[in-house]
Structure 1
Amino acid sequence: MKRVWTLLPLAVALAACGDDGAGTSVSIKGDDGNTLASVGKDGRVEIKAPGFEGSVKLPKFAFGADDFEVDGLKLYPGSTIANLNVDSSGGNDGSVKVDFDAPAAADQVQSWFREQMQSAGFTVDLKNGALAGKTGDGSPFSLKVTPQGDGKSRGSLTVTGN
């Protein structure tokens, strides 16, 4: 759960930066599976913790490829993050799931990720059309990329604790 609390200031700081884009939502879940903090695409920050519960409206924010990294791996260049979910429930190190929109065709994005992952020391296999394997530190991951129209795609990257 300590990891969850270290991400909360980041979420609030990003929300405070403001942006005129579509916005990004962030959700952080605790050991019991309940949401501890969330930041909606509209900038509403909600915190629920033992002894404290509150909500505040901040400017809408968005962040993208340069604002996210897993074991040295960034998102496809020009991507924007639609949703970021951190879940520390389940008795392990939890999981991080990021949904992102990429400005390229799905096969191009998937090929780029495969090359970047292999360069970063990930083990990578193709399973049912998705990339799966382990990060450089041994955490299991999966990446599914789907077409979203001409020259666009939506990706979903999930990394779980080991």
Structure 2
Amino acid sequence: MRYLPLLLLPLALAACGGEGTSISINAHSDDDDNAVFAMNNGAVSVKSDGFEGSFKVPNIKMTAENFDMDGVKLYPNSTITSFNVDATDHAGKQKDEGKVTAAFSSPADLAKVQGWFRDKLTAKGFKFNEKGNGFAGTTDDGESFTIDLSADGAAKTSGKMVIVGN
């Protein structure tokens, strides 16, 4: 199955102990070659054409170092609380579709995290606008993105980044 490397990617990020990142990957194709991978606190389930199973692995904890959007990383020392990929492979000349959603927690106040993203997006030359407490725009690859941010106490920010490519 052509998506097997994609399904195994999160296992390469494995780190033992602590609370893990909730991960889900859904891959579909027009020729019914489909796969679903889900992981939550070390419980893994995989379902694809011809294979279905579940097993336990050490928790995976994704951090700012494990994720970037065309070179723009998350605020330093951020932790990713959930990571979801939805991909569709279309037959012929029709463009494939993909969507990545990452929810994260950053160890700084909202204004500092907003400034971090504003500076990084500007430095990479992305076209973007402020949207609420976050940003919306396109990467240099033409993928659309949104970054939603909200204060989570005095020195913490919760966020969600959505990247859509087609």
> TM-score band (shorter)?
0.7 to 0.9
Alignment of 1:84-99 (within 5 A): 84-89=83-88, 92-99=96-103
Alignment of 1:73-152 (within 5 A): 73-89=72-88, 92-152=96-156
Q: Which amino acid aligns with 1:119?
A: A
**Bigger shift: 23-32 or 108-117?**
23-32
Flag the structure with higher strand content.
2
Runs of 4 or more above 6 Å deviation? none
Please state how far the C-alpha of 1:35 moved relative to its aligned partner.
6.3
Q: Partner residue of 1:21?
A: 18
Q: Alignment identity in percent? A: 39
Q: Evaluate the alpha carbon distance shift between residue 132 and residue 90 of structure 1 in structure 2; reply closer, same or farther with a 3 A threshold.
A: farther
Q: Aligned equivalents of 1:10 and 1:50: distance in 2? A: 19
Q: Which amino acid aligns with 1:139?
A: E
- Tell me the TM-score normalized by structure 1: 0.88
Q: Aligned equivalents of 1:130 and 1:72: distance in 2? A: 18
Task: Give the length in aligned residue pairs.
Answer: 157
Q: Aligned equivalents of 2:113 and 2:78: distance in 1? A: 10
Please state how far the C-alpha of 1:90 moved relative to its aligned partner.
8.8
Flag the structure with higher helix content.
1
* CA deviation vs aligned residue, 1:132-157 (integer Å, no higher than 9, x gap): 00011110000001111120011100
Q: Partner residue of 1:67?
A: 66
User: Contact 1:27/1:38 (CA < 8 Å) preserved in 2?
Assistant: yes
Q: Which amino acid aligns with 2:38?
A: S
Please state how far the C-alpha of 1:116 moved relative to its aligned partner.
0.2
- Gaps of at least 5 residues in structure 2 are 91-95
Please state how far the C-alpha of 1:31 moved relative to its aligned partner.
2.1
User: Contact 2:133/2:150 (CA < 8 Å) preserved in 1?
Assistant: no
CA RMSD of aligned residues (A): 2.0
